[in-house]
Structures are given as structure tokens and as C-alpha cells.
Structure 1
């Protein structure tokens, strides 16, 4: 009997390993495909991942420097403050918007091939992270031009990326599920992300808000992640234990909600796509 049980466990482990390897291979191929499609027929190609945040930062810096910059922030620091907020918001916006469409766009494949549906939203988030990593070159260039030093605390970008990646995956899973059954979510999410951007100190500083709103800001996930990034890169400080706990908690809760909703409804996707 023990031998039979051992054989069953061995078979399950082998099956899981095979499935995991197949999912990883699919993820790699999808990311590679999206990367090629994004820059196809583009003269500058991958350079746009650096130029886009730079150009956006320049426009917003010209517009907002004189009335959105806090009194305590030096003029040379504001462009770095601005570009960090921009690329962090851009990662979330790109990951969730593309993740929301992932199941619907994969309909032809899902109807023909048996594949783990979870792969498609996750791949969109990973692709957004690749572009985000390239955008860090733009951050480095702005810091160099503005003479803002980079300290060893920048190593905390690693946990930041892990936290934010998990959060975006959870949110993308939730949105991908809702979009399959309610197409209105696709149109509504654009409004939500715009409102979320204005509700987060991306281009303005926290001290410009009333004390009540400053207190509420700690419950804004996007603010927590943007502030974490700025703390370790711009302010050259080690993020506090509270900041790490809040980021981890928000990431885990979002992932749990996204996975629960996705797994509970994925068997019905084929009927609605």
C-alpha cells in the first residue's frame, strides 16, 4: 500500500514539474513575441522604452515645476521625483490594462489548445516589468543630469519590484476575469487609472494635500509603492519596517483576491470569449 502511495506522489510530482516547465516555456515565448511586436517597424525600437519616460518627464516638469513642487523640494530633485512616479504608475497601468485583455485576446488559442490560463495575465505583467527595467536607464540619466547621487539603498529596488510585481499580477488576474464576463470593465478601467493617478502624488508633493488626505494616503497602494521607490532611490534611505509590511500586505491581499476570483471562474471563460 505504501509503495502505491509513493508511486502516486511521484507521479503527481512529475506531472507538476512537467506542467510548470511547460508554463515557463509558454511565458518566455509570449514575452519574446510581445517584445518583437511592440518594436516592429520602429526605427528607434527598444530606445523608446527610455525615451518615453524621459519625454513625459520633460513635459510634466515644464508644466508642473512652479506650482506642484513642494517648498522643501530643491528644483534639481523634482525631475527625479517626477520620473520615478511616472514609471511606477506606467508599470501598473500597462500591466493591468494589457492583463485585463489577456484572456479575451487569447481566445483563439484557448479554444484550440489546452494551456494554463493563468499564463496569459502573468505574461502581460512580466512584459510590463521588462519595459520598466529599461525605463530605469531613463531614471539614471535624469539623476546624472540633475546631479542627484545614487546611494547603496537603491538595492531595495529588488524587494520593491517583487512586491509590486505580485500586486500587479493579483490585480491583473481580477481584471482579466471581470473583463471576460463584463466588457464594461474595459472602458471603466481607463477612468479608474486616470483618477488613481491624480489621487496619488505622482507629479505633486504630499505636503500640498490637506492633513486629512495625507493620513488617508497610506491606504493607497500605488502611493505606498511609489513612496517606497522614492525612499530608497531619491531620498537614499532604507524603507521602514512599516513601509515593507504595508507593501507586502497589499501585494498578498491583492494576489489572494485575484487568484481566488480567477480560479473560481476560469472554467467558464470558454463560454464567454
Structure 2
């Protein structure tokens, strides 16, 4: 793994170039261009803010911000996985013609969505201030929480991108899994909506502690739940290691399968 990290560092300019190209091409030719980075989550926020508080009677103070600070990292997470899943297959010509660390392909997808999420903070911070939320020093925990989520997303991205080359139905299955995953993660509703007997099982979902940690530092101005966050960090590291070895194992037959 350390050799691979060193190799990625040696090809860092290629990685940066791929991320820049993806960011430029994602909205190339569209009228709003890069503004779609903000429009898409804002539209989701508007829909969820109407449906859940008023139709489903979710009673939560400052619900739009309660939702917003959780929805954006979730979009980063799911977009990273879905884009990375098809990254190797979508670059078949590149993979079969020249040598470079193949791991750069799913990594660039995750990094691209990471940049989109960071850009979205341009909206989050002013929105929190406008709605009367006081930002505190606990925002300093943001890089740590984001790193844990990044490692978790990258681990899954590595595994799924490799599996998709061999099993072409993987992308469809992953889409269904992510759809279900959304509703067992407290994004559009608080954890208290679940019965206490279920909450301990819901907490086994590593994204729960990550989402709750973002809410703690942005919305509630408090430290994250470190015991829960450590659990998510350990799962993220384990996922990254497993994803790395799955990718390296399947990488041997990429040329044949593509």
C-alpha cells in the first residue's frame, strides 16, 4: 500500500489534471455552468423542507439548516461512490493503452466530489449565519470529520470501481443500496424518530456518526460525539484497506475484462 501511495504522489499532476478536467467538463455548455454545484442541493433542500416538516410532520427547530448541513456531505458521499463505480470502465481506452496507477481513476472521482462539497460551503456558512446559528470554535473539527468521510468513500469507491469492471450489474445494485442507505441515515429526520431499541442498531451505520458530527459542529456549536466518531473512523480505515486490496486484486485482469 505504501508503494502505491508513493506512486500516486509521483503521478499527482495527472490526478490534479483529471480533477480539474472533470470540474470543468461537468457543467460545460450548460447555461448556469458551475452554479449547478449550488442549484442541485438547494433544490433538494427546498423539496425536503416542504415535504418533511409540513407533510410528514417532522418537528425540528430550524429544519432547513438541520437538513442542509447533513444533506451536502451525504451528496458528496453518494456522488463519489456512484461516479467512481464507473470510473475504470469509463476510461477503458486510457487503461488499455498507457501505464499509470489505475487507482487514480476512482480517487479522482472522490476528489472531484470533495471539491464540489468544499465549494458548497460558500452557501452553508452564510445560510447558517442568516438563520441565527452561532458558529463556534468547534468548526475546527471539520477537517477531521471530512477526512473520515473521505476515507470511507474512497474505500467503497475502490472496491466498487473494481467490481464493476468484472460485474457490470454492480452500478445498478449500488444505486439501490444507496437509495435504501439514505433512509437508515438520519439526514431528513433526527435520530429520535427511531425507537430506542432500534437506535443502537442504526448507530452501526458508520455514516450516522459522521452526519451527526457535521450537525454538532455546524448547527449546534458543540464537539462531536468522539466515541461514535472513532467507531466510524475505524470502519473507514478498515473499508479503505479492504477496498485497496479488492482493487489491486481485480486490477490484474482489467485489460482482459475491458
Name the TM-score, length of structure 1 as normaliser.
Answer: 0.88
Matched, 1:200 2:185: yes
- 1: CA distance between counterparts of 2:130 and 2:52? 19
- 2: CA distance between counterparts of 1:160 and 1:47? 26
Which of 138, 146, 149 is residue 164 of structure 1 equivalent to? 149
Matched, 1:92 2:77: yes
- 2: CA distance between counterparts of 1:248 and 1:124? 21
Taking the TM superposition and a 5 Å limit, the aligned residue runs for 1:116-155 are 116-155=101-140
Q: Which position in structure 1 is the counterpart of 2:29?
A: 41
Which of 12, 37, 62 is residue 24 of structure 1 equivalent to? 12
SS at match of 2:252: helix
Matched, 1:183 2:172: no
SS at match of 2:253: helix
Q: Is the 8 A contact 2:159 2:244 kept in 1?
A: yes
Q: Is the 8 A contact 2:66 2:215 kept in 1?
A: yes
The runs of 4+ residues in structure 1 deviating greater than 6 Å are none
Q: Is the 8 A contact 1:99 1:176 kept in 2?
A: yes
SS at match of 2:30: coil
- 2: CA distance between counterparts of 1:90 and 1:62? 19
Matched, 1:52 2:37: no
Q: Structure 1: state its 5+ residue gaps.
A: 1-12
Name the TM-score, length of structure 2 as normaliser.
Answer: 0.93
Residue 20 of structure 1 and its aligned partner are, at CA, apart by: 4.2
Please provide the CA RMSD for this pair: 1.8
For the pair shown, the structure with the greater C-alpha radius of gyration is: 1
Q: Structure 2: state its 5+ residue gaps.
A: none
Q: Which position in structure 2 is the counterpart of 1:78?
A: 63
Q: Which position in structure 1 is the counterpart of 2:58?
A: 69
Q: Is the 8 A contact 1:57 1:83 kept in 2?
A: yes
